[in-house]
Amino acid sequence: MEDNTPSLIINAPAILLVGKAGVGKSTLGNMMLGTSEDENPTFPASDSYVSMDEIYNIIDTPGIYATDVPNEEILKEIALTIQKFAYGIKAILFVILAGRSSPEQVHMINTIKRFFMEEHFRCMILVFSKCRKKQTLNPGYFRKTYWNETIEAFINSIGNRWGISPDIDIFSPGDHVYEQRLKELQYHITSMSAIQLSQTTKKFKEEKKILQEKYNDLNDKYNEEKNQHQIIVENLKRDIEGIEDKYTKNIQQLENQISDIKQRHQTEIKFKEQQISLLKHMHQFQKM
């Protein structure tokens, strides 16, 4: 399969935004860049972000779905994008919806754990989006009341790095809480060293090869089933045509038989009429 990922301008360490479709990755990216979604509804594939006099490229990725079926192509696209990070990865912001534990939440965490390598978790930050006002005002309260074992175990595995993406429907740019939550994320980002990608690139090339082979197998299976289906359809068409021919012939035979019967019947009627006429003439002759 071709590399259809967008053409990226990568000139600095990357900050990668990952997570479920619709979770608020692009919104977080726009908040970090100080841009508005109204001005820029489609968040760019790459844009410059300056923090502590350091320049980074923020990279938004396609949203991962809550089911396995469509994710192979999406994860492949993310893998191909990561291969282009010549300056390494500064941070991976894994954005997840705040809320109680759900199968979807567990699935998303497991998908991320399977996809990324161990070295990636050294620069990963879990970011909660769509938090309520009280949760955003008091992260300690949010942690005590809403974290579950799955979330806590995952955060511990990434060095206890987590943050809250302020809800723009509740907090506005310039608001103290809004700015404080973003500064906390900024602190996590700047406190980590960028990871280089020599082994990462090798791993993703292997992943790409595996995905390509899986795609080829699925495509071959699809074509085989398609051909088998076509054969079945053609056989059914022939069977139907055979049945139609058979019944057409039977109907024609019946019509011929009916025609013969009618003709014989008409002949018999004419013969009877002639006999009756002859008898009448004979009877009249005898009277004379």
Provide the CATH number for the domain around residue 108: 3.40.50.300
Mean pLDDT of 189-196: 74
Q: Is residue 201 part of a domain?
A: no
Q: Is residue 48 part of a domain?
A: yes
Q: Is residue 276 part of a domain?
A: no
How far, in Å, CA of 27 to CA of 224, rounded? Answer: 44
Q: Is residue 264 part of a domain?
A: no
- What is the per-residue pLDDT for 69? 47
How high does pLDDT run on average in the chain? 80
- What is the per-residue pLDDT for 48? 55
Q: Which of 139-148, 152-161, 279-288 is least confident?
A: 279-288
Summarised one tens digit per residue, pLDDT across range 48-58 is 555 556 788 88
Summarised one tens digit per residue, pLDDT across range 228-253 is 888 998 888 888 888 888 888 888 88
Between 126 and 199, the more confident residue is 126
Q: Which two tokens stand for residue 88?
A: 């390494």
Summarised one tens digit per residue, pLDDT across range 96-136 is 998 766 788 888 888 888 888 888 888 899 999 999 999 99
Residue 208 three-state SS: helix
Phi, psi of 153 (to 5 degrees): -65, -40
Q: Is residue 101 part of a domain?
A: yes
Q: How confident is the model at residue 195 (pLDDT cuts 50, 70, 90)?
A: low
Closest C-alpha to 167, from 95, 231, 226: 95
Q: Is residue 187 part of a domain?
A: yes
Q: Which two tokens stand for residue 8?
A: 């990226």
Between 33 and 170, the more confident residue is 170
In contact, 61 and 112? CB cutoff 8 Å: no
Between 206 and 3, the more confident residue is 206
pTM value is 0.62
Q: Is residue 209 part of a domain?
A: no
* Residue range(s) defining the domain that contains residue 84: 14-196
Please tell me the total count of domains within the chain: 1
Residue 240 three-state SS: helix
How far, in Å, CA of 43 to CA of 36, rounded? Answer: 10
Percent of the chain scored above 70 by pLDDT? 80
First to last CA, the chain: 112
By the 10 Å C-beta count (0-12 exposed, 13-18 middle, 19+ buried), 221 is classed as exposed
Compute how many other C-beta atoms are within 10 angstroms of the C-beta atom of residue 211.
18
Q: Which two tokens stand for residue 33?
A: 């860049």
Q: Is residue 233 part of a domain?
A: no
- What is the per-residue pLDDT for 279? 76
